[in-house]
Structure 1
Amino acid sequence: MRQTMQIDIQDFPLVRMDYSGAGHQSIEETLQIFEQCLQRKQGFVFLGWAADFDKDPNENVADRRAVSLWMKQHKAELRDYVKAMYYVEPSAVKRLAAKAFAVIYGKFWGHPMIVTESRDEAVRQDYELLGLSSE
């Protein structure tokens, strides 16, 4: 089984995405969780961290194809309900790489990827975007 990011939807509409490899979700499981989020028919945001933007772009071609096909099938729902991806990167150097990747991400997914320095800042911005109280 191929591994991908670990998704946590316990704090929905804040959907946490850990790219560190600590999780054991396959791409199929990940896409099922994304579908559960869309089925709520409510705006939400992603909060991600620990991605490696310097990976070989040809790695996991089958996973990339599966995600691309899924995204095309759910394009309208993604546009309606996903408000943004907030990505946390404490390292200034890695934040630059993340910001460069954010342009590609936004074109592909159709919602912005906003790079922040800390989780606290990302969560604060998430709640502001969704019009929710963080208390």
Structure 2
Amino acid sequence: MRVDSSHFPLVRLDYAPENADSTETVLADMSALLAREQPFVYIASGGFDQGEPDIDERRKVANWMKANKPAIVKLTKAHVHVAANDDEQRKAEEFSRFFENFWGYPMLIVGNAEEAEAKASELLR
């Protein structure tokens, strides 16, 4: 995954494997977002068919999340996920149930980038 905060408070997540940063880089980027102490929304697409991450990487993420949970819940308004077709939407809906339990903020599914930006703007008002 790659985190792009160049249009903060809209934060793009790129799940393309060829663009992936290390777990340490992603967590540092996410820590920098929290350090701003301003609400934001993640916008992403893809990412559900990339297999299971390494167990050590999962532990790093879980430990980071636990250490930062109050700020994550306070500042992250949502993860707005673009799913362009029925199959992607189904996978995203299934994943969203687990996502919110883990991260503490909702994963909302939309059909295109325009809907994602509109939903993000609504959440940030």
> 1:7 aligns to what?
3
Structure 2 unpaired stretches of 5+: none
1:11 and 1:30 mapped to 2: Cα distance? 17
Listed as ranges, the matches of 1:40-51 within 5 Å are: 40-51=36-47
- For 2:12, the equivalent position in structure 1 comes to 16
Q: Report which of the two has the higher share of helix.
A: 2
1 or 2 for the larger relative contact order (CA 8 Å, sep ≥6)? Answer: 2
For each residue in 1:68-116, what CA deviation from the matched residue of structure 2 results, as whole angstroms up to 9, or x when unmatched? 0000000110011001000111011121111010010000000000011
Spell out structure 1 runs of 4+ moving beyond 2 A.
54-57
Matched, 1:102 2:102: no
- Gaps in structure 1 of 5+ consecutive residues: none
Aligned length: 125
Task: Give the TM-score normalised by structure 1.
Answer: 0.88
Q: Given that residues 6 and 30 in structure 1 are in contact (C-alpha distance below 8 angstroms), is that contact kept between their aligned partners in structure 2?
A: yes
Structure 2 length-normalised TM: 0.95
* Aligned-residue offset at 1:55: 4.6
Alignment of 1:1-135 (within 5 A): 5-52=1-48, 54-57=49-52, 59-131=53-125
Instruction: Give the aligned CA root-mean-square deviation in angstroms.
Output: 1.1
1:75 and 1:111 map into 2 onto residues whose CA distance is: 10
